[in-house]
């Protein structure tokens, strides 16, 4: 009868080894912080590997490059930053409050929101030169346009909003939203998040809450 072999102690690498999906998530979380602090074009794979506590070889096993990492970071932003704001707006008692919650949520001045926009500003630049990322960003815009359209449609149905041309209004809103974001979250900009938010609220008041024309009383 042979004696059972004693259990072999795990090596250090075996003790810290994580499943692939967990390791990828940890890398993406570390990359979010590094890229938002240093900028996409000032961040190297070595920087991300060091922040993730993995080797460069492990990093390149999971990702082809920084651009792919950024795309996954931004997908996480859609899930964990964007969706809670949109869901909060959907739960609002009326369309006016819903729109205000969207604007206030995306134009906050806390560090989490600042990091979100710094990542998006880098991704806009990347998308200008990469068709694959441009396509991803276009799809993200489609989602955003649909979510804003849902709020406006709700306001039209309740009588809160008055809109002559919905397509024109949506184009105006998206252009103003992105233009203000690009200014508000640039370091040292004279247009901060709270000022940008006030501009958007003012635009909504002028464009969506116009007074109804008075009807003449019958003599």
Structural domain containing residue 117: 66-208
Per the prediction, the chain carries an average pLDDT of: 85
Are 97 and 204 members of one domain? Answer: yes
Residue 165 and residue 144: Cα distance in Å, rounded?
19
- Give yes or no for residue 204 having a pLDDT over 60: yes
Establish if 99 belongs to a structural domain: yes
Are 29 and 122 members of one domain? Answer: no
pLDDT confidence band for 184 (50 / 70 / 90): very high
Establish if 118 belongs to a structural domain: yes
Are 115 and 20 members of one domain? Answer: no
For the stretch 89-128, pLDDT in tens is 999 999 999 999 999 999 999 999 998 998 888 888 888 8
The first and second tokens of residue 138, run together, are 């276009």
pLDDT confidence band for 74 (50 / 70 / 90): confident
- Give yes or no for residue 219 having a pLDDT over 70: no
* Position with higher pLDDT, 15 vs 201: 201
**Quick one: which of 135, 129, 106, 122 has its CA closest to 69?**
122
Are 77 and 145 members of one domain? Answer: yes
Are 50 and 85 members of one domain? Answer: no
Are 80 and 138 members of one domain? Answer: yes
Q: What is the mean pLDDT of residues 63-90?
A: 89
Are 113 and 194 members of one domain? Answer: yes
Instruction: Look at the chain and report how many structural domains it folds into.
Output: 2
pLDDT confidence band for 152 (50 / 70 / 90): very high
Residue 32 and residue 43: Cα distance in Å, rounded?
11
Are 128 and 199 members of one domain? Answer: yes
């Amino acid at each position: 009868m042979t004696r059972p072999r004693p259990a072999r102690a795990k090596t250090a690498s075996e003790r810290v080894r994580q499943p692939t999906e967990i390791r990828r998530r940890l890398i993406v979380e570390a990359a979010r912080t590094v890229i938002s602090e240093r900028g996409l074009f000032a961040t190297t794979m070595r920087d991300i590997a060091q922040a993730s506590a993995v080797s460069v070889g492990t990093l390149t096993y999971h990702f082809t490059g920084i651009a792919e990492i950024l795309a996954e970071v931004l997908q996480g932003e859609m899930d964990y930053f964007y969706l809670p704001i949109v869901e909060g707006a959907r739960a609002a008692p009326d369309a006016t409050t819903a729109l205000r919650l969207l604007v206030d949520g995306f134009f906050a001045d806390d560090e989490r929101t600042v990091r979100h926009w710094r990542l998006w500003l880098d991704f806009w630049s990347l998308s200008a030169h990469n068709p694959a990322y441009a396509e991803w960003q276009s799809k993200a815009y489609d989602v955003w346009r649909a979510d804003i359209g849902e709020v406006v449609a709700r306001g039209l149905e309740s009588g809160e909003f008055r809109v002559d041309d919905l397509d024109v209004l949506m184009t105006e809103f998206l252009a103003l939203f992105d233009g203000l974001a690009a200014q508000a979250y640039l370091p040292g900009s004279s247009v901060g998040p709270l000022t940008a938010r006030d501009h958007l609220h003012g635009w909504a008041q002028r464009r969506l809450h116009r007074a109804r024309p008075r009807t003449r009383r019958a003599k």
